[in-house]
């Protein structure tokens, strides 16, 4: 089941929280609910991905990217990601979801998202995402120009660059196997 009530709360909260710049960090204080857990009991690995949507929604709303995309009729799309689980999140535990936009490669934007419980990193992910029209992906520079931050291009962390390279290799190998 999708997190419609949580999404509504995050978007409503974004209206009253301070605005963020592209270099800002979204922090959401969340809790593991019974609908989030699996049979072990801990947060289900798939639920991490769904909850990460909340962090990207908060960041997009608080930076104004969401509003700009809506005005232009652009759609958000996720094109991949990788997560590393470090420590479990048991039922009813509180945690912080940190989301930051770490940079872009001309085509995609890269988000780093972290689940932190009691000061300890429980999971960390990189997510590749972008904006598109009904027909095509919009280059990141076009988005940044429309947003008023043309030329914004922080250096991607080495581990994110390595992930991008591994995805490029994977794409070539997949294409060759078809």
The per-residue pLDDT for range 37-62, each reduced to its tens digit, is 999 999 999 999 999 999 999 999 99
Rounded Cα distance, 42 and 24, in Å: 30
Q: Which residue, 174, 69, 67, 176, is CA-closest to 129?
A: 69
Rounded Cα distance, 55 and 101, in Å: 11
Q: What pLDDT was estimated at residue 178?
A: 78
The per-residue pLDDT for range 106-118, each reduced to its tens digit, is 999 999 999 999 9
Average pLDDT, integer, range 160-173: 93
Say if CB 117 and CB 89 are below 8 A apart.
yes
Rounded Cα distance, 77 and 67, in Å: 15
The per-residue pLDDT for range 65-110, each reduced to its tens digit, is 999 999 999 999 999 999 999 999 999 999 999 999 999 999 999 9
In order of their start, the domains of the chain are 4-177 (3.10.129.10)
Count other C-beta atoms under 10 Å from residue 122's C-beta: 21
User: Token digits for 107?
Assistant: 């085509």
In sequence order, the β-bridge partners of residue 101 are 111
Tokens 């991490």 appear where?
48
In sequence order, the β-bridge partners of residue 130 are 77
For the chain, state the CA radius of gyration: 17
**DSSP structure class, residue 178:** -
Residue 173's contacts (CB-CB under 8 Å, 6 or more residues apart) are none
Rounded Cα distance, 142 and 138, in Å: 7
Q: What pLDDT was estimated at residue 1?
A: 66
Kindly indicate the confidence band of residue 139, based on its pLDDT and cuts at 50, 70 and 90: very high
């Amino acid at each position: 089941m999708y997190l419609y009530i949580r999404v509504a709360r995050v978007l409503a909260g974004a209206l009253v929280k301070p605005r963020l710049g592209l270099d800002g960090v979204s922090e959401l204080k969340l809790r593991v609910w019974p609908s989030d857990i699996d049979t072990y009991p801990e947060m289900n690995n798939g639920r991490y991905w769904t909850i990460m949507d909340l962090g990207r929604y908060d960041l997009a709303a608080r930076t104004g990217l969401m509003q700009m995309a809506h005005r232009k009729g652009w759609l958000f799309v996720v094109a991949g990601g990788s997560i590393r689980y470090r420590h479990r999140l048991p039922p009813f535990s509180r945690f912080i979801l940190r989301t930051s936009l770490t940079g872009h490669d001309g085509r995609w934007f890269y988000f780093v998202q972290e689940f932190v419980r009691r000061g300890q990193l429980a999971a960390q992910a990189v997510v590749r995402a972008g904006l598109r029209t009904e027909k095509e992906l919009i280059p990141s520079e076009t988005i940044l120009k429309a947003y008023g931050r043309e030329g914004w291009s922080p250096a991607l962390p080495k581990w994110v660059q390595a992930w991008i390279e591994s995805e490029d290799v994977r794409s070539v190998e997949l294409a060759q196997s078809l």
